[in-house]
Chains A and B, each alone.
Chain A
Amino acid sequence: MTKRRDILVYAVLAGVLVAGLIVLFFVGPRWLSTPGPVQPGAAAGAAEARKIRARLFFVGPDGERLSPVEQEVPLGDGPAEQARRIVEAELSAPPTTYASPIPAGTKLKTIFLTPKGEAYLDLSPEVRTNHPGGTTNEVLTVYALVNALTWNLPAITGVQILVDGKEVDTLAGHLDLRRPLEQDLTYANGQSSPQ
């Protein structure tokens, strides 16, 4: 009786083992091929801790143009998430020798991408209410965001800024924000298009 039960148990275990191996053959490679820290393709959990080097744009010493600054930005899971990480980095404080082109208190509410490669960036009202005005200030604010996204994510071809979920004419009365803006490195020091 005991012997027959043992045989039955072994048969069940063998069946489970074979089934498990077959399943692992189909699923396992994804576990096993998890790359090291510099390899793209990490699982979502690991992505949180990994970084990419992104080119951000802050105000240079002349106060009239943007300076490119290479910074580490968390790796995002997919283009929209990566875009969000880049914008959040652009909204953060710059290195000490640079000034931020973004009005104080500005937060990213949401970002979404269209299949046409346009990014819609919904910012909090502070981007307008705290804006100091002037064409130069407005150019720096807008193109810091547009260039950071289009430079680092070439699939994004245009960026439209929304405020509190709504389309706006301008931030401070100058630049036309009623449709997506393309990358323009005219306002950035020592830049040429990567494309």
Chain B
Amino acid sequence: MITSVTTRRVFHAVYALLGLFLASLLSGLSGLSGLSGVVSGQAPGSGGSVTVLSRDGRRPLPAVEVQGHSMVGLDDLANLFQLTIREDAAPRAVTVTYKDRTIVLTPDQALASMSGRLVSLPAPLTRQGRRWLVPVEFAGVALPLIYDTKLDYRPDSRLLIVGDMRVPHVVALYDDTGNILRVTLGITPKAMTSIVQDQNRLLVRIDADALDPALLPPPQQNFLTGIRATEPNTIQMDLGSRFASYRSSTPISTGAAAQLTIDLLPAAGESTSAGPAPAPPEPNASNLPVFGGARSSIRTIVLDPGHGGDDSGVKGTAGILEKDVALAVARRAKSVIEGRLGIRVLLTRDEDTKPDADTRAAVANNNKADLFISLHANGSPRESAQGALIYYLNLDHSGEEARRQSQADREVLSIYGGGSREFALLDWELAQAAHVQESAAFAGLIEQKMRAMANVSAVSVQKAPMRGLTAANMPAVLIEMGYLSNPAEEKTLSSAEFQSGVAQAIAEAVIAFRDYLEQAPR
């Protein structure tokens, strides 16, 4: 130990002497960055800036791009957040202090250390001239550990939000049917909205401190020439020449988000032929699959009893199998819906077999079903878990892209008997993307009816990336009717009374959904 310390002292003395001789040499050896402590790699490029949003307003935080990462200066962060920056020579580290709390950063390490806790960063601390740079994410994942005000970094919009501000993320989706342009604003977290028309602009005011917008340009300029966010909390829609009026829906809540639908309409007397590529009336048109066209009332429903064959699904402690419960409820629901509503009901399986997910969706798609309902029973590691869950598809980024693409990719094809028809080209794997909004609405109706008809106290709607729903080209939900892992619910799930109650609840939800479709703006 003594030898080690002595040796270190000798080495440090030698470094000091040699450093005097070699300082000028090192300054010329910029390529040997490991010697100088400068981790540059490449010349920093322009990284734009990050907008810091607080109660005091907006201010830019300059950023530069280094090796593909957006970096900000520690000195700039220090000025913004009253931080103290200190550089330690040995071991080489930079400390960032706020009040009595400190973060340690080390060059070459994409980590930040705070009281023994390590936080990963996308890039290491980097030196640029006399400045130290950190990836901008540092402000969102590391700085909050020592700062006494909430910090929220939104990478997509490059917003750094300081304090408890209401800054919902707002996305715009479009459905262009030719004669109407439907604009759906997704607002997360949900907030109250109001719409006013101001000459050739439609202004959607959102009850928030500021907005975090992700607004794609409209697909065509006839109804809408542009859309943008204006400070502090307004979405401005610039109206096109075909716009005459609008109608809007009551915002639909889907979990933490809200969806506001606004239909931009042409003048009442305007011929529908003014729209691009109208579908000519053909004698056999009703037999053709219609994608994105006018919706008729519900004529066909596909019920999908989950699992089957060698896949039993969840097995209850008393031996009740999920596949049997699902099939029993599907048969009861088919009987109730066909008997009461006169709607054709198909089952993806009517015996103990196991169709794969795509085969199940194909039954619905090939029969032009208007609803797809998958029936399951649930399982949890805890016996105490109870209640029903209604799932609809959760779209991730690629799903949102597919939804947008499905509205953009349209093709006019010749059809049998002459004439042509416009088709939306859908990816089979993501056909559900175009129906998520209606699926969420149907899930909400199932939830209501399950409470009322099936005497289920705990019912909730959730969204998840469900494999069995992705390819369904119609509103689709998956119902987990209860927990077979809960002995009491296992008994309930196997009872005829409960199964009939669920069948009645589904039938009632179908009726309510039919009303919803007829009243919803097209």
Residues of A with Cβ closer than 8 Å to B? 21-22, 24-26, 28-29, 32-36, 38-41, 52-53, 59, 61-64, 75, 79, 82, 99-101, 132-137, 139-140, 152-155, 169-170, 172-179, 181-182, 184, 186, 194-195
A154 to B120, Cβ gap below 8 A?
yes
B381 to A52, Cβ gap below 8 A?
no
Contacts of B81 in A (CB 8 A): none
Distance from A29 Cβ to chain B, minimum over Cβ atoms (Å):
8
Contacting A154 at CB < 8 Å: which of B15, B122, B314, B379?
B122
Contacts of B104 in A (CB 8 A): 38-40
For residue A61, which residue of chain B has the nearest CB?
B382
Contacts of B130 in A (CB 8 A): none
Contacts of A39 in B (CB 8 A): 91, 93, 104, 106, 113
Docked pose: A53 CA to B397 CA in angstroms:
30
B381 to A101, Cβ gap below 8 A?
yes
A64 to B91, Cβ gap below 8 A?
no
Distance from B384 Cβ to chain A, minimum over Cβ atoms (Å):
6
Is B11 an interface residue when CB atoms closer than 8 A count as contact?
yes
Docked pose: A189 CA to B91 CA in angstroms:
39
A137 to B379, Cβ gap below 8 A?
yes
Docked pose: A134 CA to B312 CA in angstroms:
10
Contacts of A64 in B (CB 8 A): 380, 382, 385
Docked pose: A82 CA to B30 CA in angstroms:
32
For residue A30, which residue of chain B has the nearest CB?
B34
Looking at B116, B117, B381, B394, the one whose CB has the most chain A CB atoms below 10 A away is B381
B314 to A132, Cβ gap below 8 A?
yes
Docked pose: A53 CA to B90 CA in angstroms:
25
Docked pose: A181 CA to B314 CA in angstroms:
24
Contacting B398 at CB < 8 Å: which of A59, A62, A101, A179?
A179
Taking A40-B106, A137-B379, A176-B466 as known contacts, 13 extra A-B pairs with beta carbons closer than 8 A to each other, sorted by chain A number, are A35-B106, A41-B91, A53-B116, A59-B382, A99-B382, A132-B381, A134-B380, A135-B466, A136-B378, A155-B110, A169-B357, A181-B465, A186-B463
Docked pose: A62 CA to B313 CA in angstroms:
21
B467 to A186, Cβ gap below 8 A?
no
Docked pose: A29 CA to B34 CA in angstroms:
10
For residue B18, which residue of chain A has the nearest CB?
A25
Docked pose: A195 CA to B314 CA in angstroms:
36
The answer to whether residues A134 and B466 also contact, given A24-B11, A33-B92, A100-B381 and a CB cut-off of 8 A, is no
Distance from B376 Cβ to chain A, minimum over Cβ atoms (Å):
6
Residues of B within 8 Å of A, CB-based: how many? 73
B384 to A134, Cβ gap below 8 A?
no
For residue A51, which residue of chain B has the nearest CB?
B116
Contacts of B91 in A (CB 8 A): 33-36, 39, 41
For residue B19, which residue of chain A has the nearest CB?
A25
Looking at B141, B307, B385, B485, the one whose CB has the most chain A CB atoms below 10 A away is B385
For residue B394, which residue of chain A has the nearest CB?
A184
Docked pose: A154 CA to B117 CA in angstroms:
15
Q: Which 6 A-B pairs rank lowest in CB-CB distance, beginning with the nearest?
A: A63-B382, A134-B379, A63-B385, A63-B380, A176-B467, A52-B118
The answer to whether residues A186 and B485 also contact, given A33-B91, A35-B106, A134-B377 and a CB cut-off of 8 A, is no
Contacts of B462 in A (CB 8 A): 186
A25 to B153, Cβ gap below 8 A?
no
Distance from A128 Cβ to chain B, minimum over Cβ atoms (Å):
11
Distance from A47 Cβ to chain B, minimum over Cβ atoms (Å):
11
Q: Which of B449-457, B476-484, B505-513 is near enough to bind chain A?
A: B476-484
For residue B484, which residue of chain A has the nearest CB?
A134
Is B487 an interface residue when CB atoms closer than 8 A count as contact?
no
The answer to whether residues A62 and B377 also contact, given A175-B467, A181-B465 and a CB cut-off of 8 A, is no
B379 to A133, Cβ gap below 8 A?
yes
A135 to B478, Cβ gap below 8 A?
yes
A182 to B397, Cβ gap below 8 A?
yes
Contacts of B377 in A (CB 8 A): 134
Looking at A153, A154, A175, the one whose CB has the most chain B CB atoms below 10 A away is A154
Is B275 an interface residue when CB atoms closer than 8 A count as contact?
no
Contacts of A153 in B (CB 8 A): 120
Quick one: which of B384-401 are within 8 Å of A by CB?
Answer: 384-385, 389, 391, 394, 396-398
Quick one: which of B89-146 are within 8 Å of A by CB?
Answer: 90-93, 104, 106, 108-111, 113, 115-118, 120-122, 137, 140-141
Docked pose: A135 CA to B109 CA in angstroms:
40
Distance from B352 Cβ to chain A, minimum over Cβ atoms (Å):
15
Contacting B485 at CB < 8 Å: which of A132, A139, A170?
A132
Contacting A82 at CB < 8 Å: which of B120, B153, B391, B396?
B120
The answer to whether residues A154 and B121 also contact, given A63-B385, A133-B322 and a CB cut-off of 8 A, is yes
Docked pose: A106 CA to B465 CA in angstroms:
23
Contacts of B466 in A (CB 8 A): 135, 174-176
Looking at B113, B255, B467, B478, the one whose CB has the most chain A CB atoms below 10 A away is B467
A134 to B121, Cβ gap below 8 A?
no
The answer to whether residues A41 and B382 also contact, given A52-B118, A169-B357, A170-B467 and a CB cut-off of 8 A, is no
The answer to whether residues A26 and B93 also contact, given A53-B116, A63-B380 and a CB cut-off of 8 A, is no
